[in-house]
Amino acid sequence: MNRLRGRLSLAFLVVILVTLCSISVALLLILRQNPLEERQALTTLTTQATGLAALLRRSPQLVPGSPHWTNVLGDISERQEMRLAWADPHGTIIFDSDGRWEGQTLEECFTNRHSGVKKRWVDEVQDDQQRWLVIGLPWPNPQAPVGDLIVARPAPTTPFLQQFRTTLLSPLLQSGLLALLLSVLLALTISRSITHPLQKVANAARALAAGNLQAHAPVSGPEEVQDLARAFNEMSRQVQTSQQAQRDLVANVAHDLRTPLTSIQGFAQALVDGTAVSPESQTQAAQAIYEESRRMRYMTDTLLDLARFEAQQVSLQLAPVELSALAQKRGEHFRLRAEAAQITLQLDTTEENLVAGDASRLEQVLDNLLENALHHTPAGGRIAVGVRQAPPWVELTVADTGRGIPQEEIPRIFERFYRGDKSRGGKNAGLGLAIVKEIVQAHGGTIQAESVVGVGSKFTVRLPCLSGPASMVTP
């Protein structure tokens, strides 16, 4: 019963049983309050009384006191299996085919008939032997004196439970069996419409688990199953993207570590085999080993930082930071390198702009953006650093007149190890902008890149501004 088909069939069966039980209880209550057999008997009695009245209207000679009229009524009573009686205008019963009502008044025998009432009446009475259904009507022969014709027959004595068993139980069981058969067919149809698309999603999930990253679930079936298939396909796409990113990461890390390792191995080998014999060559080899190892340390530290940011395991030491002063300080730090590369560095950081941040991490943002600008700006170019208020933000901009970035590559420049020129050369590991984005987002800010090929690039960092006086963390 764990399968959907079985559960649907069971659910339909329960609904049908509850419905049949409800209908049965309702019918039992109806029969108890208004028994079916008694209503049928009353209908038959009414028909007989109406027919007898029509016969008497067509027989004007048949009036109370005429010859043989009692014999005629007695014969009709015997043939029609009903009890006939007549009451005179004073309400005294003169004739009764059964004999027990003769001599009594209508009020004594019947509760629903009163003297002087000239219309049809219905009653149910109990005499010494049995219960009777009674219909009384004015004597239909206009030539007869005013009186009442009384037509009666024994009331049904079958218990209402037996009436239910004999008249209603069989149709209920038959309709229930038919409904059960239809419910099974309906459950099979509905379950197939649901389970068939679900089975396709399950097969796609198994294929994905087996390593087929191209697994795709067809979008079909009910809307909920379609939503499930779309969610699975989106998950499959993300898994494929994640797997590709992992492969790219491993390849990039291996490549970027191979270059310094090769350099370190070469200079170390020169020191070991005695090739570097002069003090100058030995110093050069040691310096190269130091620089390459420092480069590897930077790369591993940055990768660890990225992993911690993505796992939300970085704890920022937030405090009020004067961003203009911080930008001024880091700009002056890079000024000598810019002048050595014949690049003009402009600083527009005169306004005071407070943000809540981790000063050391924001320094890392500035250093990476300035390092990136220096790397891509040729001699004779210009780098501009600015900080300004743009409520509710403080905007930090770093613009350069470098080679620029193609528009199709801008969405990817914040990925780890991404380098737009596709070159593996140089010392740029492609991690700077990735760590910048993580730090900015951890501060509740945003970073945006704009670029025109051949004109230059501009990076805009927006951080929530901190209003009101506060003790500042100055660089």
Q: How many CB atoms lie within 10 A of CB 236?
A: 20
Across the range 146-165, mean pLDDT stands at 73
- Percent of the residues in the chain that have a pLDDT greater than 70, as a whole number: 83
Place of tokens 């593996």: 424
Spatial contact of 447 and 393, defined as CB atoms under 8 Å apart: no
Q: Is the pLDDT of residue 116 over 90?
A: no
Mean pLDDT of 406-416: 86
Identify whether the C-beta of residue 354 lies closer than 8 Å to the C-beta of residue 469: no
Closest CA to 49 of 145, 133, 175: 133
Say what the pTM is.
Answer: 0.51
Percent of the chain with pLDDT over 90: 19
Q: What is the pLDDT of residue 420?
A: 60
Q: Residue 425 is encoded by which pair of tokens?
A: 């050369």
Low-confidence winner among 183-187, 263-267, 284-288 (lowest mean pLDDT): 183-187
Q: Is the pLDDT of residue 190 over 60?
A: yes
Cβ-contact 318, 357 below 8 angstroms = yes
C-alpha to C-alpha distance for 76 and 89, rounded to whole angstroms: 23
Which value, to the nearest 10 degrees, does the dihedral of the CA atoms of residues 259, 265, 267, 271 take? 170
Give the per-residue pLDDT at 90. 80
Q: State the maximum Cα–Cα separation within the chain, in Å, rounded to a whole number.
A: 165
Residues belonging to the chain = 475
CA pair distance 327, 397, nearest whole angstrom:
10
What does the radius of gyration of the chain's CA atoms come to, in whole angstroms?
A: 52
Statement: residue 67 has pLDDT above 90: no
Long-range contacts of 22-28 (CB under 8 A, 24+ apart): 23/172, 24/164, 24/168, 24/172, 27/164, 27/168, 28/160, 28/161, 28/164
Q: How many CB atoms lie within 10 A of CB 252?
A: 18
Give the best-scoring range by mean pLDDT among 91-105, 144-158, 434-448.
434-448
Please give the structure tokens belonging to residue 217.
């679930």
Per-residue model confidence (pLDDT) at position 423: 41
In the structure, what pLDDT confidence band is assigned to residue 474 with cuts at 50, 70 and 90?
very low
Q: What is the pLDDT of residues 285-335, one digit of tens each?
A: 888 888 888 888 877 887 787 778 877 778 888 999 999 999 999 999 999
Least confident among 48-57, 247-256, 263-272, 315-324 = 247-256
Tell me, what's the pLDDT at 2? Answer: 61
For 348-395, write each residue's pLDDT tens digit: 887 788 999 999 999 999 999 999 999 899 999 999 999 998 889 999
The per-residue pLDDT of the chain, averaged, comes to: 80
Q: What is the model's pLDDT at position 270? A: 83
Contact criterion met (CB below 8 Å) for 419 and 430 = yes
For residue 76, pLDDT over 80 is answered with yes
Helix axis angle, 169-209 relative to 4-33, nearest 10°? Answer: 160
Looking at residue 143, what is its pLDDT?
59
DSSP 373-401: HHHHPPTT-EEEEEEEEETTEEEEEEEE-
**What's residue 186's pLDDT?**
76
User: Is a pLDDT exceeding 70 seen at residue 44?
Assistant: yes
Three-state SS for 302?
Answer: helix
Query: 389 and 465 in contact (C-beta within 8 Å)?
Result: yes
pLDDT at position 341 is: 92
For residue 4, what pLDDT is reported?
65
Domains of the chain: 36-155 (3.30.450.20), 223-310 (1.10.287.130), 319-464 (3.30.565.10)
HEC secondary structure over 193-236: HHHHHHHHHHHHHHHHHCCCCCCCCCCCCCHHHHHHHHHHHHHH
Average pLDDT over residues 237-263: 76
pLDDT of residue 367: 92
